[in-house]
Structure 1
């Protein structure tokens, strides 16, 4: 069974800017989850896929936190003191940095808590879909095509 998912999440800027130890821990967690569900029913696998569809990726966490901090800075800046506007500036700077580089100071903190990228969530989801048999028709079509080609050779 695959435990190294680097090939499947190549080009992910967040993973590129995350320590290898954290990436490996997340990869091990994905592999353990897929192994766990290998012996489960289609219904149980479907429930897990539904959970994955609702899981927030790291981008959504960063964007939400930046928006909340920015709003707090604006409200406090307007109602208390102008110095609170600095919160909005910091939040939007982090958000811009995340958009451009795929990294911002809160990212390592969030990754330590196991917050995953969209690609990491999708790797688990598609592995579970393969376990459930969602792609069996594709593979059987490929086999039929191979058999036809062999028959003509």
Structure 2
């Protein structure tokens, strides 16, 4: 019933969404293997990228606060909104799924682990962890080694 923290969103996401996200990550790493001068800029973008948890938290807080204010000042029936939102947030915390998750995954919002996979693969390509792969002229093999190291 309870999913492990690291994989719970992926386990409750469609195979299509997971595959699309993985393909985009792999494509980014392949691109940056050919353009290493752009790795630093991409790492800065990754640092600013919101993961699925952060998006859910921000949306839940906004809806809960809005529903509470509407319930307090307009009509008590609006208090059903924060109740529903907090129930869905609890469901997400326990199971890794709630109604917004499929929508967010369809929008290619990634998990923290998926973002970190790209981040660490790019750092491996940049040489942060020492030499990787068979050599600088065999880029596809270097990409595979970087991605494999990042997923360990």
TM-score by length of 2: 0.81
**Count of aligned pairs between the two proteins:** 129
Indicate the residue corresponding to 2:33 in structure 1: 38
Q: Please, which of 44, 47, 51 is the counterpart of residue 53 of structure 1?
A: 47
**Contiguous gaps of at least 5 residues in structure 2:** 134-152
For 2:29 and 2:90, how far apart are their aligned partners in 1?
35
Give the drift of 1:40.
Answer: 1.4
Asked whether 1:22 is paired with 2:22, we answer: no
* Counterpart pick for 1:115 among 109, 119, 124: 109
In the alignment, which residue of structure 1 is the partner of 2:126?
Answer: 132
Q: Distance in 2 between matches of 1:113 and 1:102?
A: 17
TM-score by length of 1: 0.80
Per-residue deviation, residues 18-44 of structure 1 (Å, max 9, x unmatched): 0111100000000111111111134x2
Pair member with larger Rg: 1
Write out the 4+ residue segments of structure 1 that deviate beyond 4 Å after TM superposition: none
Residue 91 of structure 1 is matched in structure 2 by: 85
1:11 Cα deviation from its structure 2 partner: 4.8
Per-residue deviation, 1:133: 0.6
